[in-house]
């Protein structure tokens, strides 16, 4: 089985995914890192040099490869991956994928992302916390439709990493 972790940037997909994979003795794949390795460019450089259309085609190709993996794995998707084209339908159509939406409220995401925005090109230009919150609110409104189609929504607010991992493991049996 493959476990796909979905959610907005800063929701803990990679952090939780690494620990979940180690606990389950599974391979961990960070979707964005996989794309960056293949292109030898950061995500922001791919957007800048090749454009969004190129990136979305590449993203879809890599997603299809991840869906087709034979081995068990925990895969943290990019925040936008399930929200483009029919990517979410591809994920839902696979019998050996269980998807989890790691859901945080806007306040929690704003606090997390405000502290690390210089490392995130998509929001590094948002110098005021209010602008960042507005940006997150708009994105979550647009993306929530896709995220909520996950097999399970995990409310991560006020929960430790251990609690979240335990909840995922309980769902998986």
Structural domains of the chain ordered from first start: 2-104+147-172 (3.40.50.300)
For residue 64, name the pLDDT band (cuts at 50, 70, 90).
very high
| Verdict on whether the full-model pTM lies above 0.85 | yes
Residues 145, 72: Cα–Cα separation, whole Å = 27
Q: To 10 degrees, what angle do helices 129-147 and 106-116 make?
A: 120
Whether the predicted pLDDT of 2 surpasses 90: yes
DSSP state letter for 128: S
Whether the predicted pLDDT of 76 surpasses 80: yes
Would you call 107 exposed, middle or buried from its count of C-beta atoms within 10 A (0-12, 13-18, 19+)? exposed
Would you call 20 exposed, middle or buried from its count of C-beta atoms within 10 A (0-12, 13-18, 19+)? buried
pLDDT of 110-168, one tens digit each? 999 988 877 777 788 888 999 999 999 999 999 999 999 999 999 999 999 999 999 99
What is the average pLDDT score of the chain? 93
């Amino acid at each position: 089985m493959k476990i796909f972790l979905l959610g907005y940037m800063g929701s803990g997909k990679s952090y939780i995914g690494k620990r979940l994979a180690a606990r389950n003795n599974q391979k961990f794949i960070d979707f964005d890192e996989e794309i960056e390795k293949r292109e030898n460019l950061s995500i922001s450089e791919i957007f800048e040099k090749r454009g969004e259309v190129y990136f979305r085609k590449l993203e879809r190709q890599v997603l299809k490869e991840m869906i087709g993996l034979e081995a068990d794995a925990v895969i943290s998707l990019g925040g936008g991956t399930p929200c483009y084209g029919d990517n979410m339908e591809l994920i839902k159509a696979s019998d050996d994928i269980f998807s989890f939406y790691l859901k945080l409220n806007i306040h929690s995401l704003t606090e997390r992302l405000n502290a690390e925005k210089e490392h995130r090109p998509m929001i590094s230009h948002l110098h005021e916390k209010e602008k960042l919150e507005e940006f997150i609110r708009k994105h979550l409104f647009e993306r929530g439709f896709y995220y909520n189609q996950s097999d399970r929504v995990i409310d991560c607010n006020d929960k430790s990493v251990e609690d979240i991992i335990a909840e995922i493991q309980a769902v998986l049996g």
